[in-house]
């Protein structure tokens, strides 16, 4: 069965940055990793794009997000600290994903990566959907700096989109990047963000695997 994904993007005002990371590292992320079906969690910091923080959770299946275990800590069960944090963050995007390609791979499966490139597609015509996976594969796979590519069908705010997550061993710029393999799907690119792994005091918080 295809692996699932929970994606969360947000940015706190600078004055709240330390509290935001305390909340995420010490409460929010551990709560979710304790739910059956959450396989791991990784956080990232954006240096090309917005918002600043990204969290990715690999799931056994996307149905984990509709399970009693998850409902016990989500929705109307949010903690007071979570409610406080959600009140001041900006750019909040929460999305659920089903892994289309390769289907059952977890983040980091090909080893460490120095960069994560996130591609978001929206309002993709049905005829163009078929070009997203082969297009991203043509752009990235077979290159020495590419560790791994994963592609997801996303659902958020009653909308459907597509997501490409590219783990790179070394930075790769966008100069001369050929979008032609994406064909009509290239017209539906909403954002391309570049991230580095989040670390705090030299540690990566909350890893389960």
What integer best gives the mean pLDDT of the chain?
94
Residue 3 has pLDDT above 80, yes or no: yes
Residue 160 has pLDDT above 70, yes or no: yes
Flag whether the pTM goes above 0.85. Answer: yes
Handedness of CA 170, 174, 178, 183 (dihedral sign): positive
**If you average pLDDT over residues 82-106, what whole number do you get?**
96
How much of the chain, in percent, has pLDDT values that exceed 70?
Answer: 96
Between 7 and 77, whose confidence is greater?
Answer: 7
CATH classification code of 4-197: 3.30.70.100
H or E segment and range at residue 10: strand 4-11
**If you average pLDDT over residues 180-195, what whole number do you get?**
97
pLDDT in tens, 18-29: 999 999 999 999
Note the pLDDT of residue 174.
84
**If you average pLDDT over residues 79-99, what whole number do you get?**
95
Residue 205 has pLDDT above 60, yes or no: no
b (16+ CB within 10 A) / e for 98-130:
bbbbeeeebbbeeeebebbbbbbbeebeeebbe
| Structural contact between residues 125 and 74, judged by C-beta atoms closer than 8 angstroms | no
| Structural contact between residues 81 and 31, judged by C-beta atoms closer than 8 angstroms | no
Residue 201 has pLDDT above 70, yes or no: no
Q: Phi and psi (nearest 5°) for 40?
A: -165, 175
What distance in Å separates the CA atoms of residue 113 and residue 192, rounded to the nearest whole number? 17
Residue 209 has pLDDT above 50, yes or no: no
pLDDT in tens, 30-82: 999 999 999 999 999 999 999 999 999 999 999 999 999 999 999 888 999 99
> What residue segments make up the domains of the chain, in order of their start?
4-197
Continuous H helices in the chain: 17-23, 29-33, 68-71, 80-88, 126-129, 132-140
Note the pLDDT of residue 106.
98
**If you average pLDDT over residues 111-119, what whole number do you get?**
96
């Amino acid at each position: 069965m295809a692996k699932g994904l929970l994606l969360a993007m947000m940015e706190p005002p600078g004055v709240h940055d330390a509290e935001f990371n305390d909340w995420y590292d010490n409460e929010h992320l551990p709560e979710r990793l304790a739910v059956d079906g959450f396989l791991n969690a990784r956080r990232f910091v954006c240096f090309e794009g917005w918002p600043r923080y990204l969290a990715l959770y690999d799931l056994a299946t996307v149905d984990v997000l509709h399970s009693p275990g998850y409902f016990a800590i989500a929705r109307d069960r949010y903690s007071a600290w979570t409610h406080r944090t959600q009140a001041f963050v900006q750019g909040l995007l929460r999305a659920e994903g089903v892994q289309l390609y390769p289907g059952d791979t977890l983040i980091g499966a090909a080893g460490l990566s120095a960069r994560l490139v996130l591609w978001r597609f929206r309002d993709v015509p049905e005829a163009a959907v078929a070009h997203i996976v082969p297009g991203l594969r043509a752009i990235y796979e077979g290159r020495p700096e590419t560790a791994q590519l994963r592609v997801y069908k996303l659902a958020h705010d009653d909308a459907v989109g597509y997501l490409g997550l590219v783990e790179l061993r070394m930075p790769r710029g966008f100069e001369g990047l050929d979008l032609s393999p994406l064909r009509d799907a290239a017209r539906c690119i909403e954002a391309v963000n570049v991230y580095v792994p989040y670390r705090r005091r030299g540690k990566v918080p909350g890893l389960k695997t």
